[in-house]
Protein backbone atom coordinates (compact mmCIF):
# COMPACT_ATOMS: atom_id res chain seq x y z
CA UNK A 1 0.00 0.00 0.00
CA UNK A 2 1.35 3.45 -0.95
CA UNK A 3 1.52 5.97 1.87
CA UNK A 4 -0.94 8.28 0.11
CA UNK A 5 -3.54 5.49 0.09
CA UNK A 6 -4.03 5.61 3.87
CA UNK A 7 -5.64 9.06 3.57
CA UNK A 8 -9.41 8.61 3.51
CA UNK A 9 -11.87 11.05 1.96
CA UNK A 10 -15.62 11.20 2.35
CA UNK A 11 -17.66 13.25 -0.10
CA UNK A 12 -18.91 16.41 1.54
CA UNK A 13 -16.99 15.78 4.77
CA UNK A 14 -13.65 17.16 5.88
CA UNK A 15 -10.78 14.76 6.56
CA UNK A 16 -8.63 15.68 9.60
CA UNK A 17 -4.97 14.65 9.84
CA UNK A 18 -2.71 15.24 12.83
CA UNK A 19 1.02 15.04 12.15
CA UNK A 20 3.08 14.77 15.31
CA UNK A 21 6.18 13.48 16.98
CA UNK A 22 9.14 14.51 19.12
CA UNK A 23 10.56 18.00 18.72
CA UNK A 24 13.14 18.36 15.97
CA UNK A 25 12.07 15.41 13.79
CA UNK A 26 10.69 17.50 10.93
CA UNK A 27 6.95 17.63 11.69
CA UNK A 28 6.45 21.06 10.16
CA UNK A 29 8.33 20.14 6.99
CA UNK A 30 6.28 16.95 6.57
CA UNK A 31 3.02 18.77 7.38
CA UNK A 32 3.74 21.62 4.97
CA UNK A 33 4.79 19.22 2.19
CA UNK A 34 1.72 17.06 2.77
CA UNK A 35 -0.65 20.02 2.61
CA UNK A 36 1.00 21.32 -0.56
CA UNK A 37 0.85 17.90 -2.23
CA UNK A 38 -2.87 17.45 -1.56
CA UNK A 39 -3.58 20.99 -2.75
CA UNK A 40 -1.78 20.12 -5.99
CA UNK A 41 -4.09 17.11 -6.34
CA UNK A 42 -7.06 19.46 -6.32
CA UNK A 43 -8.05 19.03 -2.65
CA UNK A 44 -9.20 22.20 -0.89
CA UNK A 45 -6.63 22.13 1.91
CA UNK A 46 -6.09 23.98 5.18
CA UNK A 47 -3.01 23.53 7.36
CA UNK A 48 -3.15 24.71 10.99
CA UNK A 49 -0.09 25.10 13.20
CA UNK A 50 -0.90 24.33 16.83
CA UNK A 51 2.71 24.79 17.95
CA UNK A 52 3.21 28.04 19.93
CA UNK A 53 6.75 28.18 18.47
CA UNK A 54 5.46 28.51 14.92
CA UNK A 55 7.71 27.64 11.99
CA UNK A 56 5.07 27.15 9.30
CA UNK A 57 5.67 30.69 8.01
CA UNK A 58 9.38 29.90 7.73
CA UNK A 59 8.68 26.64 5.94
CA UNK A 60 6.44 28.22 3.29
CA UNK A 61 8.41 31.48 3.32
CA UNK A 62 5.12 33.35 3.68
CA UNK A 63 3.64 35.56 6.39
CA UNK A 64 0.90 33.43 7.95
CA UNK A 65 -1.62 34.86 10.40
CA UNK A 66 -4.20 33.72 12.95
CA UNK A 67 -6.82 33.38 10.19
CA UNK A 68 -6.56 31.34 6.96
CA UNK A 69 -3.88 32.82 4.68
CA UNK A 70 -3.75 31.87 0.96
CA UNK A 71 -0.48 30.05 0.19
CA UNK A 72 -1.08 28.48 -3.21
CA UNK A 73 -3.97 27.27 -5.32
CA UNK A 74 -6.29 25.19 -3.09
CA UNK A 75 -4.04 25.79 -0.07
CA UNK A 76 -4.55 28.02 2.99
CA UNK A 77 -2.61 28.11 6.26
CA UNK A 78 -2.99 29.59 9.72
CA UNK A 79 -0.86 29.78 12.83
CA UNK A 80 -2.84 29.97 16.05
CA UNK A 81 -1.81 33.06 18.00
CA UNK A 82 -2.27 32.52 21.78
CA UNK A 83 -2.49 36.29 22.39
CA UNK A 84 -5.35 36.69 19.92
CA UNK A 85 -6.94 33.57 21.39
CA UNK A 86 -6.76 35.21 24.81
CA UNK A 87 -8.45 38.33 23.46
CA UNK A 88 -11.20 36.15 22.00
CA UNK A 89 -11.60 34.42 25.36
CA UNK A 90 -11.91 37.76 27.15
CA UNK A 91 -14.55 38.88 24.65
CA UNK A 92 -16.53 35.70 25.37
CA UNK A 93 -16.29 36.32 29.11
CA UNK A 94 -17.55 39.88 28.68
CA UNK A 95 -20.40 38.63 26.52
CA UNK A 96 -21.25 36.07 29.18
CA UNK A 97 -21.29 38.84 31.81
CA UNK A 98 -23.65 40.88 29.64
CA UNK A 99 -26.06 37.94 29.62
CA UNK A 100 -25.77 37.66 33.40
CA UNK A 101 -26.10 41.16 34.90
CA UNK A 102 -25.99 39.71 38.40
CA UNK A 103 -22.59 38.10 37.93
CA UNK A 104 -19.76 39.59 39.95
CA UNK A 105 -17.37 41.47 37.64
CA UNK A 106 -14.50 40.94 40.04
CA UNK A 107 -14.97 37.19 39.68
CA UNK A 108 -15.11 37.55 35.90
CA UNK A 109 -11.86 39.54 35.88
CA UNK A 110 -10.20 36.88 38.05
CA UNK A 111 -11.26 34.26 35.50
CA UNK A 112 -9.74 36.24 32.64
CA UNK A 113 -6.51 36.90 34.53
CA UNK A 114 -6.16 33.22 35.38
CA UNK A 115 -6.85 32.19 31.79
CA UNK A 116 -4.19 34.55 30.45
CA UNK A 117 -1.60 32.82 32.65
CA UNK A 118 -2.82 29.28 32.02
CA UNK A 119 -0.20 27.08 30.32
CA UNK A 120 -2.89 25.36 28.28
CA UNK A 121 -4.40 28.42 26.59
CA UNK A 122 -2.67 27.49 23.30
CA UNK A 123 -4.18 23.99 23.37
CA UNK A 124 -7.60 25.43 24.21
CA UNK A 125 -7.30 27.86 21.31
CA UNK A 126 -6.25 25.05 18.99
CA UNK A 127 -9.22 22.99 20.09
CA UNK A 128 -11.52 25.97 19.49
CA UNK A 129 -10.15 26.20 15.94
CA UNK A 130 -10.64 22.46 15.57
CA UNK A 131 -14.31 22.88 16.54
CA UNK A 132 -14.66 25.83 14.19
CA UNK A 133 -13.40 24.07 11.08
CA UNK A 134 -14.77 20.60 11.69
CA UNK A 135 -18.33 21.90 11.77
CA UNK A 136 -18.22 23.68 8.41
CA UNK A 137 -16.88 20.95 6.08
CA UNK A 138 -15.48 23.89 4.09
CA UNK A 139 -12.25 22.02 3.30
CA UNK A 140 -11.54 18.60 1.84
CA UNK A 141 -8.67 18.10 4.28
CA UNK A 142 -7.41 19.93 7.36
CA UNK A 143 -3.86 19.10 8.46
CA UNK A 144 -2.68 19.91 11.98
CA UNK A 145 1.03 20.66 12.28
CA UNK A 146 1.26 19.87 15.96
CA UNK A 147 3.53 20.92 18.79
CA UNK A 148 5.91 18.37 20.37
CA UNK A 149 4.26 15.28 21.82
CA UNK A 150 3.34 16.55 25.30
CA UNK A 151 1.50 19.61 23.98
CA UNK A 152 -0.29 17.52 21.39
CA UNK A 153 -1.56 14.99 23.90
CA UNK A 154 -2.96 17.83 26.01
CA UNK A 155 -4.69 19.19 22.91
CA UNK A 156 -6.25 15.82 22.17
CA UNK A 157 -7.47 15.53 25.76
CA UNK A 158 -9.39 18.80 25.40
CA UNK A 159 -12.75 17.25 24.45
CA UNK A 160 -12.92 15.33 27.73
CA UNK A 161 -11.68 18.30 29.77
CA UNK A 162 -13.99 20.80 28.08
CA UNK A 163 -16.96 18.46 28.23
CA UNK A 164 -16.50 18.06 31.99
CA UNK A 165 -16.01 21.79 32.53
CA UNK A 166 -19.01 22.86 30.43
CA UNK A 167 -21.14 20.20 32.12
CA UNK A 168 -20.32 21.68 35.52
CA UNK A 169 -21.06 25.18 34.24
CA UNK A 170 -24.45 24.06 32.96
CA UNK A 171 -25.29 22.54 36.34
CA UNK A 172 -24.29 25.73 38.16
CA UNK A 173 -26.17 27.89 35.65
CA UNK A 174 -29.36 25.89 36.15
CA UNK A 175 -29.02 26.18 39.90
CA UNK A 176 -28.48 29.93 39.68
CA UNK A 177 -31.38 30.22 37.24
CA UNK A 178 -33.69 28.41 39.62
CA UNK A 179 -32.64 30.67 42.48
CA UNK A 180 -33.08 33.76 40.33
CA UNK A 181 -36.63 32.78 39.41
CA UNK A 182 -37.49 32.00 43.03
CA UNK A 183 -36.20 35.37 44.31
CA UNK A 184 -36.82 37.51 41.23
CA UNK A 185 -39.17 39.87 43.03
CA UNK A 186 -36.51 40.84 45.57
CA UNK A 187 -33.43 40.37 43.29
CA UNK A 188 -34.31 42.22 40.06
CA UNK A 189 -30.63 42.53 39.06
CA UNK A 190 -30.51 38.82 38.23
CA UNK A 191 -31.69 39.65 34.71
CA UNK A 192 -34.71 38.51 32.75
CA UNK A 193 -35.56 34.95 31.82
CA UNK A 194 -34.72 35.46 28.15
CA UNK A 195 -31.12 36.39 29.01
CA UNK A 196 -30.81 33.45 31.39
CA UNK A 197 -32.17 31.05 28.77
CA UNK A 198 -29.72 32.41 26.16
CA UNK A 199 -26.73 31.81 28.46
CA UNK A 200 -27.85 28.23 29.14
CA UNK A 201 -28.61 27.67 25.47
CA UNK A 202 -25.07 28.76 24.50
CA UNK A 203 -23.51 26.33 26.98
CA UNK A 204 -25.75 23.48 25.82
CA UNK A 205 -24.71 24.21 22.22
CA UNK A 206 -21.03 24.17 23.22
CA UNK A 207 -21.49 20.81 24.92
CA UNK A 208 -23.18 19.46 21.80
CA UNK A 209 -20.29 20.64 19.61
CA UNK A 210 -17.75 19.04 21.94
CA UNK A 211 -19.64 15.73 21.75
CA UNK A 212 -19.58 15.93 17.95
CA UNK A 213 -15.86 16.69 18.06
CA UNK A 214 -15.19 13.61 20.16
CA UNK A 215 -17.10 11.52 17.65
CA UNK A 216 -15.20 12.89 14.68
CA UNK A 217 -11.81 12.50 16.38
CA UNK A 218 -12.61 8.85 17.11
CA UNK A 219 -13.80 8.13 13.56
CA UNK A 220 -10.95 6.52 11.55
CA UNK A 221 -12.68 7.53 8.32
CA UNK A 222 -12.50 11.20 9.35
CA UNK A 223 -9.49 11.65 11.65
CA UNK A 224 -6.08 9.97 11.78
CA UNK A 225 -2.67 10.58 13.35
CA UNK A 226 0.55 10.29 11.37
CA UNK A 227 3.78 10.06 13.37
CA UNK A 228 7.13 11.49 12.27
CA UNK A 229 10.20 9.82 13.75
CA UNK A 230 13.92 9.86 13.12
CA UNK A 231 16.02 6.68 13.50
CA UNK A 232 17.13 7.45 17.04
CA UNK A 233 16.11 5.70 20.23
CA UNK A 234 14.62 8.74 21.99
CA UNK A 235 12.37 9.56 19.04
CA UNK A 236 11.27 5.94 18.63
CA UNK A 237 10.38 5.36 22.27
CA UNK A 238 8.62 8.72 22.66
CA UNK A 239 6.53 7.93 19.60
CA UNK A 240 5.69 4.51 20.99
CA UNK A 241 4.48 6.05 24.26
CA UNK A 242 2.49 8.66 22.35
CA UNK A 243 0.72 6.00 20.30
CA UNK A 244 -0.24 4.16 23.46
CA UNK A 245 -1.63 7.40 24.89
CA UNK A 246 -3.57 8.10 21.68
CA UNK A 247 -5.48 4.85 22.15
CA UNK A 248 -7.04 6.37 25.28
CA UNK A 249 -8.59 9.04 23.07
CA UNK A 250 -9.67 6.46 20.46
CA UNK A 251 -7.40 8.12 17.91
CA UNK A 252 -6.38 6.05 14.89
CA UNK A 253 -2.64 5.95 14.22
CA UNK A 254 -2.08 4.48 10.77
CA UNK A 255 1.17 5.88 9.38
CA UNK A 256 4.79 6.43 10.39
CA UNK A 257 7.18 8.66 8.47
CA UNK A 258 10.86 7.99 9.18
CA UNK A 259 12.74 11.17 8.39
CA UNK A 260 16.43 12.01 7.93
CA UNK A 261 17.64 8.57 6.77
CA UNK A 262 21.39 8.51 6.14
CA UNK A 263 22.08 7.35 2.54
CA UNK A 264 23.41 3.81 2.14
CA UNK A 265 26.28 5.03 0.00
CA UNK A 266 28.36 6.54 2.80
CA UNK A 267 31.24 8.68 1.50
CA UNK A 268 32.94 9.23 4.85
CA UNK A 269 33.76 7.23 7.98
CA UNK A 270 31.36 9.27 10.11
CA UNK A 271 28.53 8.81 7.59
CA UNK A 272 29.12 5.05 7.46
CA UNK A 273 29.03 4.82 11.25
CA UNK A 274 25.79 6.81 11.38
CA UNK A 275 24.23 4.61 8.72
CA UNK A 276 25.16 1.47 10.65
CA UNK A 277 23.45 2.78 13.80
CA UNK A 278 20.39 3.86 11.81
CA UNK A 279 20.02 0.42 10.26
CA UNK A 280 19.55 -1.01 13.76
CA UNK A 281 17.02 1.69 14.60
CA UNK A 282 15.13 1.02 11.38
CA UNK A 283 14.75 -2.61 12.43
CA UNK A 284 13.37 -1.43 15.77
CA UNK A 285 10.89 0.84 13.98
CA UNK A 286 9.69 -2.05 11.85
CA UNK A 287 9.30 -4.25 14.93
CA UNK A 288 7.35 -1.65 16.90
CA UNK A 289 5.28 -0.03 14.16
CA UNK A 290 5.04 -2.77 11.55
CA UNK A 291 1.24 -2.82 11.76
CA UNK A 292 1.18 0.66 10.24
CA UNK A 293 2.25 1.90 6.82
CA UNK A 294 5.83 3.13 7.09
CA UNK A 295 7.51 5.59 4.76
CA UNK A 296 11.17 6.63 4.73
CA UNK A 297 12.63 9.96 3.62
CA UNK A 298 16.38 10.30 3.06
CA UNK A 299 18.44 12.99 4.72
CA UNK A 300 18.47 15.99 2.38
CA UNK A 301 21.65 17.74 1.28
CA UNK A 302 19.95 21.12 1.54
CA UNK A 303 17.62 22.86 3.98
CA UNK A 304 14.01 22.04 3.18
CA UNK A 305 12.08 25.32 3.00
CA UNK A 306 10.22 27.12 0.28
CA UNK A 307 7.66 25.83 -2.19
CA UNK A 308 10.11 24.07 -4.52
CA UNK A 309 11.80 22.03 -1.77
CA UNK A 310 8.48 21.20 -0.12
CA UNK A 311 7.13 20.04 -3.48
CA UNK A 312 10.10 17.66 -3.76
CA UNK A 313 9.42 16.18 -0.31
CA UNK A 314 5.73 15.79 -1.16
CA UNK A 315 6.61 13.94 -4.35
CA UNK A 316 8.99 11.66 -2.43
CA UNK A 317 6.29 10.83 0.12
CA UNK A 318 3.19 10.63 -2.04
CA UNK A 319 4.35 10.36 -5.64
CA UNK A 320 3.98 7.23 -7.71
CA UNK A 321 7.72 6.70 -8.08
CA UNK A 322 8.67 5.18 -4.74
CA UNK A 323 12.20 4.46 -5.94
CA UNK A 324 12.91 8.21 -5.68
CA UNK A 325 13.70 7.79 -2.01
CA UNK A 326 10.60 6.72 -0.14
CA UNK A 327 9.85 3.18 0.87
CA UNK A 328 6.26 2.34 1.76
CA UNK A 329 5.94 -0.82 3.81
CA UNK A 330 2.43 -2.28 3.71
CA UNK A 331 0.51 -3.33 6.81
CA UNK A 332 1.13 -6.87 7.97
For 268-280, the pLDDT digits (tens) are: 899 899 999 999 9
pLDDT at 207: 75
- Nearest residue to 48 via CA among 155, 149, 142: 142
Cα–Cα distance list, 162 to 48, 155, 225, 247 (Å)? 21, 11, 21, 19
pLDDT at 83: 73
Please give the mean pLDDT across all residues of the chain: 80
pLDDT of 50 higher than 60:
yes
pLDDT at 330: 36
Q: How confident is the model at residue 136 (pLDDT cuts 50, 70, 90)?
A: confident
pLDDT of 131 higher than 70:
yes
- What global pTM score does this model have? 0.80
Cα 53 to Cα 39: distance, rounded to the nearest angstrom:
25
Distance of CA 148 to the CA centre of its chain: 11
- Nearest residue to 33 via CA among 79, 78, 75, 80: 75
For 239-248, the pLDDT digits (tens) are: 999 999 998 8
- Nearest residue to 73 via CA among 36, 24, 109, 126: 36
For 153-204, the pLDDT digits (tens) are: 776 776 666 666 666 666 666 666 555 555 555 545 555 555 556 666 776 7
Pairwise pLDDT comparison (178 vs 73), residue with the higher score = 73
Check if CATH label 3.40.50.300 holds for domain 11-81+125-155+221-324: yes
Domain ranges within the chain, ordered by starting residue: 11-81+125-155+221-324, 84-122+157-214
pLDDT at 318: 95
Q: How confident is the model at residue 119 (pLDDT cuts 50, 70, 90)?
A: very low
Amino acid sequence: MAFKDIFKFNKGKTTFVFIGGKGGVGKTTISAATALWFARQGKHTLIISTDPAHSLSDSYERNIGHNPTPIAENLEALEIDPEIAMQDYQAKMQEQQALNPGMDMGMMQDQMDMASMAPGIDEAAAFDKFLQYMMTDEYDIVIFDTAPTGHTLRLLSMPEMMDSWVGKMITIRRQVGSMAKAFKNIMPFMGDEEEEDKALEDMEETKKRIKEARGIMADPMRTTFKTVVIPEEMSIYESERAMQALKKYNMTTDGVIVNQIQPEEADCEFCAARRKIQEQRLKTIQEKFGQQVIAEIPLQKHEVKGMERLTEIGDILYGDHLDDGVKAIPMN
